[in-house]
Structure 1
């Protein structure tokens, strides 16, 4: 059989953009649709990219832009609530010794870099468009998918890659019933000016929150966050978000008073529950295959969400471009290869949070983190 040459990517986040760029580099025709008109170009506060994420970004050809736009560092500090530094640990370079251990970035800046790379790739992009239905075709041996779109058009593809996130409608449409489940924690986030002394991530444990932390994202910015037990979001008025986050952050010392002074605009504060999900058995049905958060998600306790998502895209596109035939055996091999790596990260991320929820004081958090990050140093 000839290798199929037309792919639809649903979702223009990190995973969808990565898959699009790599498939276009291989000469495969790609359409990318994104439900949001603005392509998420202004959403989010900050993101922590560890070395294995940087490795994929280098493969995408955007590492130099990321390096110039973000803030690289190689250690994490553990502090008391009053700001006293208790321990500083060197981060493992999971992307190899030629890349920083960690880069913090403003999330919208990363998205804009990926958007530019997708457009440069020559993919056809349609914004504000959703896939309304997917019909696996019976012609040509059942090797295609006819997709009807929200703008009234329809097209047939050899493969559909679902990169439409946690609430993936594609996942549900192909009969996979898994859905994200809350872990019991939630996080407040905001972007703010970076105090001159902030040159790494610092994490404070204790106080009114489970974790209070920040990550530098450029020479002048950082993003700050506090983690608490999850509450009913409907009971928290949106116009009180700044007050809520500032009330928690005010209990922390060190650089926090300077950061807290900038928590004033509720529209700039994001509140999100921690979720977990791991689709078991397979990540495909016929010629529709899941990547990224559509297949798995975990709390950001190891800062691996975007990294795993982009790794999915990298591995899948490697396998697609190397194969003469795209079939169930190929997609199952993709699933098995990724599960070997994704499962330990999801489980470790959830376990770290659960230890905090349960008040386990002698939990081996450093050991679990060290083992997991060592595994991630290997190529996916």
Structure 2
């Protein structure tokens, strides 16, 4: 349900100010784009290290690359990642069953897919934010004190306060800001979990290959540079508290040993439990408006889906592009604008979330005649349109 409070425009001659809460992909991207429009932005990030060393790998489809090009970081991304244009499906023993050409969702002048190390992408975005001239505060959180028709008052974790025309909540899946403004939607587990690791790239790995079945539901890998690969195994959720983090490498290695092809080379490097990540798949789609007054949700704070379509980061980056475009267009910053942002995003995001969840659910239910290729094709062709 949309927020009905009346919002007023900033005083004539005054440039409106923005606080971005969260320095992940969506928060960093919207900061860079707003600064390009001359809008003053402060960005705060709860982690002192700005997540610069977190994560193994990420698969970026063309529509994500399109936004990264808009941000002005495509050259660095291209030089740091590994581009490819096809997807292989294999039997658990590594036998290639078929190879499909990836759909170029970013246009013919961009690769269909690019894998890269997630920490490297984060560092590129960090550099772009710093170069934008935004105010940056790390190791800092914010509490919404109150808001009225003209702005939002916040208190930072160091005890200082601030006043902004707009607050953009980019603080992730478990967004404290989302809850604070009265949005009750919460992430829900889908029933699947994923083991992830970064490893040296076998020379044979030049695209993503996915194996369905075997000891887990999915085993896959994606090249992330000339020298690295991102590998993952998807299984049913387990009680996270019952898994000793010191055994993470052993657990992933046990599952990965059931797969052939490039997996034996990859498995030999799954030795350090600190380099193995285990998380559940979650689903979130905030229903109704994505704003309350002058606080707007973006990225994982508004929606999240399993990585079965590799579209999570892309949807977050597209949010940033659309919201920044609207805010920089000279329109009043009012409920109509914030609702227009939601209305442009919700059909596309809903399609991706529902398709991503459906692919996993078919596997959980053991459906053998599911039209997975058709669903993927329809969804990816939709994403060729600009957001």
Aligned to 2:20: 9
Helix, strand or coil: the match of 1:104? strand
Q: Which residue of 2 aligns with 1:262?
A: 269
Q: Indicate the SS of the match to 1:264.
A: coil
User: Residue 205 of structure 1 contacts residue 211 of structure 1 at CA under 8 Å; is this kept in 2?
Assistant: yes
Which residue matches 2:241? 234
Distance of 1:157 and 1:172 partners within structure 2: 19
**Contact 1:134 / 1:173 at 8 angstroms: preserved in 2?**
no
In the aligned structure 1, how far is the partner of 2:109 from the partner of 2:336?
A: 35
Measure how far apart 1:4 and its partner are. Answer: 4.9
What does residue 89 of structure 1 align with?
A: 100
Is 2:210–2:218's contact at 8 Å kept on the other side of the alignment? yes
Any unmatched runs of 5+ in structure 1? none
Instruction: Please give the secondary structure, in 1, of the residue aligned with 2:144.
Output: strand
2:187 and 2:120 mapped to 1: Cα distance? 27
Correspondence for 2:63: 52
Structure 2 SS opposite 1:351: helix
Which of 338, 343, 349 is the matching residue for 1:342? 349
Question: 2-side partners of 1:309 and 1:331: how far apart?
Answer: 16
Deviations 1:119-139 (A, max 9, x none): 0000010000000233103xx
Give, in whole Å, the separation in 2 of the partners of 1:309 and 1:323: 23
In 2: Cα distance, 1:357 partner to 1:264 partner: 29
Structure 1 window deviating more from structure 2 (322-331 vs 363-372): it is 322-331
Establish whether residue 217 from structure 1 lines up as the match of residue 228 from structure 2: no
Q: How do 1:1-380 residues align onto structure 2 when only pairs under 5 Å count?
A: 1=9, 2=12, 4-137=15-148, 142-380=149-387
Give deviations 1:25-72, integer Å, cap 9, x for gaps: 000000000000000000000000000000000000000000000000
Structure 2 residue ranges without an equivalent (≥5): 1-8
Q: State the alpha-carbon separation in 2 of the partners of residues 46 and 6 from structure 1.
A: 34
Q: CA deviation at 1:324?
A: 2.7
User: What's the offset of the Cα at 1:259?
Assistant: 0.2
Aligned counterparts of 1:319 and 1:66: Cα–Cα separation in 2: 26
How far 1:150 moved relative to its partner? 0.3
Contact 1:4–1:158 (Cα < 8 Å) also in 2: no
Offset from partner CA, 1:161-212 (integer Å, 9 cap, x none) = 0000000000000000111000000000000000001000000011010000
How far, CA to CA, are the matches of 2:134 and 2:233 in structure 1? 39
SS in 1 for 2:289: coil
Normalised TM-score (structure 2): 0.96
Query: 1:55 touches 1:99 (CA, 8 Å); kept in 2?
Result: yes
Deviation above 6 Å: which 4+ runs of structure 1?
Answer: none
User: C-alpha displacement at 1:143, in angstroms?
Assistant: 1.6
Q: Do the aligned partners of 2:15 and 2:40 also contact (CA within 8 Å) in 1?
A: no
Looking at structure 2, the residues matched to 134 and 198 of structure 1 have their Cα atoms a distance apart, in angstroms, of 51
Q: 1:4 touches 1:326 (CA, 8 Å); kept in 2?
A: no
What is the TM-score with the length of structure 1 in the denominator? 0.98
Q: Deviations over 1:293-314 (max 9, x none)?
A: 0000000000000000010010
Number of positions where the alignment pairs a residue of Structure 1 with one of Structure 2 = 376
CA distance in 2, matches of 1:301, 1:109: 22
Look up the SS of the partner of 2:217 in the other structure.
strand
Q: Is the 8 A contact 1:36 1:127 kept in 2?
A: yes
SS at match of 1:344: helix
Query: Partners of 1:275 and 1:349 in 2: how far apart?
Result: 10
Distance 1:22 1:328 in 2: 21
Q: CA RMSD in A?
A: 0.8
SS at 1:77 equivalent? strand
The alpha-carbon deviation at position 350 of structure 1 amounts to 0.3
